[in-house]
Structure 1
Amino acid sequence: MVSTPWLGIHEWITKSSRLLIKKLSRNDCSWADDRLNGHQNGVYIPREIREAGFFPTLRNENPKKPHIYISKIKTFWPATGEIKESCLRHFSNKGTEMHFTVVPKDEFAGLTPASLLVGGLLQEPIGDSKYWFMTIDSASEEAELLETQFDLGVEFHCALFEPKEVFKIQIDETEELINELNEAIRTGILERFVALLSRMPTPEYFALEAQRRFLCLNGLELLDPYAITCPGDALMTISRDIEYALYKRAERRYRAAEVIRIINNRGSDLVTSVVLGYPELDATFLSASQQRKSRAGRSFEQHIARLFRDGCISFQEQAVMGGRRPDFVLPNLITLKSNKRTFNEALILSAKTTLRERWKQLVMEKFNCALFFATVDDRVSDEAISDMNKQGIQLVVPESLKNSKEACYAGKSNVISFREFFDSEISTKRGCLRSMLLI
């Protein structure tokens, strides 16, 4: 794996007339970690991209093998400075995908699941190369920035973009705020305007508003997991798409007002204001990063709690157990601690948008009940899933991620979908968790 800072990535994007972004499947990059693999491998490109004019037209060069279409292109890889004579191959007798090969192995080695391939058609060629490519690890901040910049939602897999159009849309979205700030400065009411934006809405507000918008869009009254075909996908859409869009807009307004306030109060000229205000500006941007991460986790728990309430499932949130505080105890702490209950009369569910090493906190104490970890993270490695299985932890993931080619969940015995969790683990195995509230 070779990394590139965001400013470097952004620079290459601006040099491109068209941009390709693809979420890498496990087959797209696992070959780079296989030391026994002696064959040249690469990335599979879907038919819609192959036929969209981003890559050159493929031709048959061997009449004896009419099913093989091929084209060679020189590609530049900024992270390593390599120029490769890459090859595009389409085996028409094997499917619609095209194989993009002769690529730097180091770029694809050690990548976290659901990492990204980014490449552009250069406005000005570098030597004989009209294309540049790089990989971006999904666990990096650069991946988060790219997803934000191009508004890559939960259902994103692969697409072409025109950078100028994307940046133009973003300019249009912020023009209102720029005009409002300029008008406030011109009319001398900046302090009053900044005061109006001086507080970010609470996580509870974002969670409730995101839920309301999802229900409205889908013609629903309740976030009932038994009335929604794919409750995990709904949860992922609410938390990673709808709520994040709400948060980005509010954050942009709040942070812009904060920066204007700091600069406006620190000096009579711009240079003096920035220099004197730097410590406060630095603290503001650090706070922004930390608040963004903590918001996502807390809201995710609120969405799951809403699923439990609307599905008439008995639960207790953030129950204190000594020095521990599980996200959810079902049905409640009293039942969990009872010596008279059976194994299936209680369970513990922890919830995190991103997993990392947090699952290890669950196994520090034995609870005599099933342990579940709910997440919308598609970057969990094979090794982590295996380690959780050894510790008796089951992962609960959105339905679309359960068999996704880009994640490592398919075929894992300790990974279930939210649909399976509500149907099998609660209704079938632990019907008492619902009957308590349904009676």
Structure 2
Amino acid sequence: MGFHPEWNEISAWISRSRRLFIKKLARNDAAWADSASNGHQNGFFIPRPIAESDFFPQLKNSNPDKPHIFDVEYPTFWPASGEVRNSTIKYFSLRNPGKANAKPRYEWQHTGIPKEQFKALSPASLLLVGKLEEDVSGAGYWFVVVDSVSQEAEIVETAFQLDADFHYGLFDPALPAAQTSVTDQLIGDLVQAIKDGTLERFIKTQAMPPPATLASQAQAKWLSENGGRDMNPFSIRNPGDAVMRISRDIEYAIYKQAELRFRAAQVARILVSSGGDPIVNLVRGFAELDAIFLSAAQTRKSRAGLSFEHHVERLFRDGRVHHEAQAVFGGRRPDFVLPDVSELNANGDAVIVSLKTTLRERWKQLALEKPFGAIFLATVDDRISSEAIDEMGRNAISLVVPESLKKANESAYDGNSNVITFTEFFEIEVRSKRPSLILPL
């Protein structure tokens, strides 16, 4: 089990809870655990809206000599190690207490937690806290840390529909399902198709839309929401945030609705095959069911990369940036070459832009492209470590990230010279340094 439980155990704890708090950990929420000396933090901060809710135990002033400090001690349960900790929440209500210039301060610090469970975490990891229906070993709360690069983090993000700009929130422990109206409509459609003997025809009409179609629908929705006519990166505010929102939230929501209808119909066909007993069909058709769900997982992963590519290309196209997509040279095929592959090595203005929705170790192959042009790696991944960012810098690779991720407390991007935003890429690297890349009207 280790210090980071698997999803089936996390799910079991969620089901025993009446309320759930999820926080994407900021750098200072976990950095203390990797320090030789704990310093003054030794825990994580509770956001003000959560602290002022009724989720955590009520704080009181326990020291009349320091009336600006409120605190509470309470037992907490940590399933990863099976231990109960005597934890403390402290609220320092004033800055410079006792002085004429004392001002309100909003810091709720949670200490008394297992240091080892916060060690060596990837940026943007998650903290899950459940308020239990019934105490466990005298504790009314359980805590689990989920590393952001784990499969469990992906499941949590999907199950609770955490948006790209998620930082923290309170949730009902019942895992969110599709909207009732959408679900009921699908059930009715499937029941009718089975009754009419038209299930095969229904499945054909529910085929998954091509990636380009999904991307176009998502872009149209974003433009409608924001009152825009195009996705010109030189005129829209924060183009990187726009791409992240379209790809990770809007398009994914459209995709999930289409996937539900298509995959549910495929499974229904197996369960009602030849009018037989559904249990018998389930067992005999297990291999086929397994193939359906494997295909679904693989399609989701490939969709994310294609989605990102479509939306970045829309920025290039609407900004009239001369580019060539999927150009092949020297046995390599980067996502984009600016202006085109014929210019590589011809002058110093050629640019190679590669896209990775998630990096891990796959960025290292880009170092081989250094002789051909300036290398920019665009990503919406907020889990990249400081060590990886430094290594990319030593390999002359510049990261291009959404504007909100560059300054986010949860990521390790801020303060790194080789990390720029989408806005900076288009304004500085294209318009200022390489104006010839912009095609005339």
Q: Same fold (TM over 0.5)?
A: yes
Q: 1:242 to 1:378 in 2, by over 3 A?
A: same
Distance in 2, Cα, partners of 1:107 & 1:170: 36
> Matches of residues 165-184 of structure 1 in structure 2 within 5 Å?
167=176, 170-184=179-193
Paired amino acid for 2:261:
R
Report what 2:93 is aligned to: 92
Instruction: State the partner residue of 1:438.
Output: 440
Aligned 8 A contact 1:42 1:103 in 2? yes
Cα deviation for residue 106 of structure 1 reads 2.3
Q: Does 1:301 align with 2:309?
A: yes
1:266/1:279 CA distance change after superposition, 3 Å: farther
Separation in structure 2 between the aligned mates of residue 242 and residue 222 of structure 1, nearest angstrom: 17
1:390-416 superposed Cα distances (whole Å, 9 cap, x missing partner): 000000000111111000001001000
- In 2, the alpha carbon distance for the partners of 1:138 and 1:266 equals 45
Instruction: Please identify, of 65-74 and 413-422, the stretch whose mean Cα deviation from structure 2 is larger.
Output: 65-74
- Structure 2 residue 351 is matched with structure 1 residue 347: yes
Query: Structure 1 residues 301, 169: closer, same or farther in 2, change over 3 A?
Result: closer
Do the aligned partners of residues 169 and 16 (structure 1) sit closer, same or farther apart at CA in structure 2, a change above 3 Å counting? farther
Match of 1:367 in 2: 371
Query: Aligned-pair distance for 1:188?
Result: 2.9
Alpha carbons 1:267, 1:273 under 8 Å: kept: no
Matches within 5 A, 1:29-68: 29-37=30-38, 41-68=42-69
The alpha carbon displacement at 1:278 in A equals 1.1
Aligned to 1:316: 324
Query: In structure 1, how many angstroms separate the alpha carbons of the residues matched to 2:176 and 2:254?
Result: 19
Q: Do the aligned residues in 2 keep the contact of 1:266 with 1:273 (CA within 8 Å)?
A: no
Choose the corresponding residue for 1:406, options 389, 406, 410: 410
CA offset at residue 133 of structure 1? 1.1
* 1:109 aligned to which of 113, 116, 119: 119
2:46 is equivalent to residue 8 of structure 1: no
Give how far 1:105 is off: 1.7
Amino acid at match of 1:175: D
Q: Would the aligned equivalents of 1:397 and 1:418 in 2 still touch at CA under 8 Å?
A: yes
How do 1:226-375 and structure 2 match up within 5 A? 226-265=234-273, 268-338=276-346, 341=347, 343=348, 345-375=349-379
Q: Compute the displacement of 1:96 (Å).
A: 0.7
CA contact (8 A) 1:402 1:409 kept: yes
SS of the equivalent of 1:366 reads helix
Establish whether residue 153 from structure 1 lines up as the match of residue 163 from structure 2.
yes
Counterpart position of 2:24: 23
Q: Percent same amino acid among aligned pairs? A: 52
CA shift at 1:191, angstroms? 2.6
Post-superposition CA distance 1:208-245 (Å, at most 9, x none): 11111111111111100011111111111001110111
Cα distance change on mapping 1:91 and 1:273 into 2, 3 Å: same
1:127 match: 137
**Are the counterparts in 1 of residues 345 and 372 from structure 2 also a CA contact under 8 Å?**
no
Which deviates the most, 148-157 or 405-414? 148-157
Secondary structure at the aligned position of 1:262 is classed as helix
Aligned partner letter, 1:392: A
1:163 Cα deviation after fit: 2.6
RMSD of Structure 2 on Structure 1 (CA): 1.7
TM-fit CA distance, 1:172: 5.0
Give the Cα separation in 1 of the matches to 2:431 and 2:425: 9
Deviation at 1:261, TM superposition (A): 1.6
Q: What is the alpha-carbon distance in structure 1 between the residues aligned to residue 315 and residue 42 of structure 2?
A: 43
Amino acid of the residue matched to residue 332 of structure 1?
Answer: D
Distance 1:335 1:192 in 2: 50
Structure 1 gap ranges (5+): none
Conserved 8 A contact 1:266-1:274: no
8 Å CA contact 2:271–2:281 kept in 1: the answer is yes
Find the residue that maps to 1:365 and give its secondary structure.
helix
- Measure, in 2, the Cα distance between the counterparts of 1:355 and 1:402: 16
Compute the displacement of 1:368 (Å). 4.5
SS in 1 for 2:370: coil
| Superposed displacement of residue 266, structure 1 | 7.1
- One-letter code aligned to 1:422: F
Equivalent residue of 2:270, what SS?
A: helix
Within the candidate set 187, 205, 223, 2:213 is matched to 205
Q: Deviations along 1:244-302, whole A, 9 cap, x unmatched?
A: 11111111111111111223337721232112111111111111111101110011011
Distance, in Å, in 1 between the alignment partners of 2:20 and 2:369 is 49
Q: CA deviation at 1:161?
A: 1.4
Aligned residues: 431
**Shift in alpha-carbon separation, 1:111–1:173, aligned structure 2, 3 A:** farther
Deviation at 1:160, TM superposition (A): 0.9
Corresponding position of 1:376: 380
CA offset at residue 316 of structure 1?
Answer: 0.4
The answer for the alignment partner of 2:102 in structure 1 is none
